[in-house]
Structure 1
Amino acid sequence: MPSDTAHPAERINRPAADVYAYVADPRHITDWAPGLGGEVEQIDGEWFVDTPGGQVKVEFAPPNDYGVLDHHVTFPNGDGFDNPLRVVPYGEGSEIVFSVRRTPGVSDADFARDTDAVAADLVRLKKILESS
């Protein structure tokens, strides 16, 4: 039986604090994860991403010194999903790890596609942060 969680990770040649600061800013979401949606906007202190299925609300964990970037996504129909995300020091740089959880009813092929998409997003994030 396949695992219900995959953990794509990417080493980034930037200090963990830099990676954390960039990823924790919701305005950057669609730069490094463009498949999520288009425009990012703040409405009444809450962050939303325009997706093909409507506005998705994204709430990050409170700012912290531990690299915890967990975020809760609420879909237009009210359903929500938690996404564990961490950035940790790794030598002179850091490593970012996104835990992709399989939702009920998701096929092996769709879970693999989702995991591959997250891995590609982390590679994109690495390129953005290492080029700036």
Structure 2
Amino acid sequence: MITVDARRAPIDIARDIERRLLPSYRIALARARDAKRAASATERERRRIIQSLALILPSARIAVEASEHDLEIGGVEGSLLLGRIKVPPSDWPVEMSIDIPKALVLEFARRLAVLESEISHTPRETR
């Protein structure tokens, strides 16, 4: 507690404030700034992933009306796939939900198995 009395000199009151309140405030402020920087970096990475996916998948579009971290697949003429990719605003895994025509499901599964095999044999630091 800092007492303020008309008889105290303003410089003494200011010194008490600086000595008692500012150290804790500066620590809290530094932590808040660090957390904001980390959240901003995570958000930039999430947006980069979404934009890259939208370029890779010709039938994809960013689903602004549903959620800023969703990417819709399909719904355009000639598209065989229909689904959604959710890129959460954190380090959580990306969720993919894709409807595949029965005629393509076995080929899709084969290609997915090849990809899984390639990924599992890739050193973790290069992924």
TM-score by length of structure 2 reads: 0.40
Structure number with the higher strand fraction is 1
Larger RCO (CA under 8 A, 6+ residues apart) = 1
Which structure would you say has the larger Rg? 2
Please, what TM-score do these two structures have when normalized by structure 1?
Answer: 0.39
Q: Which has the higher helix share?
A: 2
